[in-house]
Structure 1
């Protein structure tokens, strides 16, 4: 039995002291777990003493068993107490980190917002809905027949050349990015019975420069009326009403003779802007006229029985007039600072 390690009170006390010191030094739960493994695990001094009990003479087993058992109990209690202390401290730290000061001023949530262009388009459509008109939409990728032929633009018309229109390959499909929302008006005439009172807002594309006064993709709103007895007077009254709703009771429009293939007679119309920055003035706004009989015939409408008017305005220009925007590029570049100028929450 001389090769068996001897259990002594001094050795047991030293093992207990090391274990208690390690428990007290553990700064967090993982460190305590490591200390527990080192001082209570299978390779620890106390575990070794407990294993030696099988070699202790029978007459000494009670004495040494009590000594080792008491030591293990002290260490267990120390680790359990330290575990509770660390757990309580970690819970307190987590609560402090998540603490909410209910007396503090709440942070302002930055919410999304409608773009001013979308709001302007909605404002214009609301005016016409209030007049009993219907809002119609159509495809932005359009067939040449709807975009040109049906609107009295023959194959040699300059607007059909590459410098004005985005053609989509392959060419034999005869598809273009619509150059105006007039194709929607033709679709409306083909799909509806007369009388027709429709407004067709939407994006259009032309091979224009991207500068302060031009965009290659912009937004139009085009109106169409087909009914019996329609005259230029009805057109003028409609345009005046639109101007007054957008720019005030003193706003009005005037017509200047022009030529468009899909209207005859045709006119450019100007807006009298009473609150324009720098002083009231006339500003060119859009084109209009009486629907060409050829266009009515293409839609299967008898021009001897029905007449109509059509007009088109640029919504970007309306926003420029109404809100003194100087550069069209600001409307297309997606900078939230542009929207913030209009008092919007962004």
Structure 2
């Protein structure tokens, strides 16, 4: 059914297109403002947050209504990137949760108008105990904007809602500013993908950040024989460990080759002779390292049609991993 809006949209698609255009205009205005006063205030806010973190403080995010929903996401993003943070509902703050705000913390309060009455108690608390207060608002002279130590004032832009009532452009801009704060903090702290994995051990994201050392088999689980081992014994090692191969090591324990099913087929084609594995093994085999990302190794193994590979350190095998073990971990 066609949507009738004050923006003269004649179809659902046109309404969607206009919504994106209006919200994009808000983001573009914010980008331009960052070159001026908004940028100055943003840097001051980041400095205040870093000062609080240096004292062991947390980022306390708060907001009411739709701004509160955005605040929850911002708090979650900050926490997931290593910045100690949590959301405090302003109404709950008035009934005991103010005790969750410490004097070393910094409060990040969201209100587009800056006049949400529910924020009054938490604002008063920050003023009483000298807790730094950062506001994200479009009202610099509002109750929140006036009380804040640092007011990140976003440009006032039209909502995509045809009645100008439902928070749309405003919440998009607030969310984008939260992302700006999150990314700025993780960039300054040199937060890496491996740091990220510490807070995202589960799900697809966690599996993508697994390393070979997290999945490889070690110790007696590795199929290994010496260079002088007879072929018959090497076959027993291969079949018992179920990797379709065995590594071959020299007297110092260095990996000098591997014996694969392909090597066996070629040896049998010439007529079976129970000779030393060093005579038929594949020398200088492809290897990996324990710190290689499993997703990276999977791509390389697929490209080279490899099903099993050894992880080495200083040319010595420290683990072995099969393609199926990577896939079972959800890496793809």
Q: Does TM, scored on the shorter chain, surpass 0.5?
A: no
TM range (shorter): under 0.3
Give the structure with the higher percent strand: 1
TM-score normalized by structure 1?
0.19
Q: What TM-score results when the alignment is normalised by the length of structure 2?
A: 0.20
